[in-house]
């Protein structure tokens, strides 16, 4: 099914799309073409100028900058290490995916629903970053800064709670291994092509034995999921 067919199946008119988008954004969008690109996954639009990967790259940088500025103001007496760790907690892929789902992005993202591999991928967090990139190009940095704080940070990223969250799953696993004299390694079991994209299978091993394995469209995401699965399987709580 072509992108146009999928779009028309989801939204009968551009006016309907604009209405749905306004509900998600909280303001009336200007350049609809820009937002259509931001919400178009590579699985339905291959061209670099058609899917949301370039906007995801831009949105990632914009979001990181906005959160860095927010934390700089929020914690005037904290050092660089603390601020860097907090930013990592706030922009990690799993957290962004959760926020995207709560915001309703799944309902308006155009992607190949028949692709089973996408079910294990956190594409909506990526789409959220692409959306931030589109907002930035549409309304400028200052307004985007306010929008991110009002729509993403304040309702979804509670810094008081995040201060006590261990977000680096791999470090948690390595810490357990050091205490128990175990050797943790992450190995690439397989690399294949699905629907034109590289799909990685990463295994978490303990003393050479595979404990968990996961798939993802990049090694970082697959490794993160494998580490989380390993922690659950090993019953690691602290």
Whether residues 146 and 218 share a domain: the answer is: no
> Does 51 score more than 90 pLDDT?
no
Mean pLDDT of the chain: 85
> Does 5 score more than 60 pLDDT?
no
- Domain closes at, from 162, 186, 220: 162
**Is residue 207 flagged as an active site residue?**
no
Whether residues 195 and 107 share a domain: the answer is: no
> Using 50, 70 and 90 to split pLDDT, how confident is the model at 70?
very high
Whether residues 24 and 131 share a domain: the answer is: yes
3-state secondary structure of 172: helix
What's the pLDDT at 156?
Answer: 94
pLDDT in tens, 30-44: 999 999 999 998 777
Sheet strand arrangement including 209-216:
184-194, 197-206, 209-216
Q: How far apart are CA 186 and CA 226, in angstroms?
A: 9
Q: What is the mean pLDDT of residues 204-211?
A: 91
**Is residue 60 flagged as an active site residue?**
yes
Mark out the alpha helices in the chain (DSSP H runs).
3-10, 14-25, 32-38, 53-74, 80-91, 93-103, 105-108, 123-139, 141-148, 154-156, 159-162, 169-180, 219-234
- Domain closes at, from 117, 144, 162: 162
Q: What is the CATH number of the domain that holds 91?
A: 1.10.1520.10
Q: What is the mean pLDDT of residues 210-232?
A: 83
Residue predicted with more confidence, 172 or 54? 54
Which residue is catalytic, options 60, 150, 194, 221? Answer: 60
Domain containing 98: what range? 3-162
Q: What is the CATH number of the domain that holds 177?
A: 3.30.160.20
Whether residues 176 and 103 share a domain: the answer is: no
Whether residues 57 and 156 share a domain: the answer is: yes
> Does 117 score more than 80 pLDDT?
no
pTM of the predicted structure, to 2 decimals: 0.70
Of the candidates 165, 229, 222, the one whose C-alpha atom is nearest the C-alpha of residue 198 is: 222
Whether residues 151 and 220 share a domain: the answer is: no
Q: How many domains does the chain have?
A: 2
Residue predicted with more confidence, 83 or 66? 66
Whether residues 120 and 228 share a domain: the answer is: no
Residue 206 pairs with which residues in a beta bridge? 184, 209
Which residue is catalytic, options 56, 129, 138, 221? Answer: 129
- Domain closes at, from 116, 142, 162: 162
């Amino acid at each position: 099914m072509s992108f146009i067919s999928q779009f028309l199946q989801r939204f009968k008119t551009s006016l309907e799309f604009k209405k749905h988008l306004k509900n998600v954004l909280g303001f009336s969008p200007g350049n609809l073409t820009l937002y259509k690109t931001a919400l178009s996954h590579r699985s339905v639009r291959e061209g670099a100028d058609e899917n949301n990967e370039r906007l995801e790259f831009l949105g990632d940088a914009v979001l990181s900058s906005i959160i860095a500025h927010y934390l700089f103001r929020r914690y005037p007496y904290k050092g660089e290490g603390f601020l860097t760790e907090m930013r990592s907690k706030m922009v990690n892929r799993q957290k962004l995916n959760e926020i995207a789902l709560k915001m309703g992005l799944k309902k308006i993202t155009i992607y190949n629903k028949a692709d089973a591999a996408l079910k294990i991928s956190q594409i909506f967090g990526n789409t959220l970053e692409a959306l931030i990139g589109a907002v930035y190009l549409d309304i400028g940095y200052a307004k985007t800064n306010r929008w991110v704080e009002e729509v993403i940070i304040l309702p979804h990223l509670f810094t008081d709670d995040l201060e006590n969250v261990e977000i680096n799953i791999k470090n948690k696993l390595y810490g357990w291994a050091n205490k128990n004299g175990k050797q943790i390694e992450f190995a690439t079991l397989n690399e294949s092509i699905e629907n034109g994209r590289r799909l990685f299978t990463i295994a978490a091993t303990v003393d050479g034995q595979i404990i968990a394995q996961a798939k993802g469209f990049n090694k970082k995401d697959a490794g993160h999921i494998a580490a989380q699965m390993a922690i659950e399987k090993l019953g690691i709580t602290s």
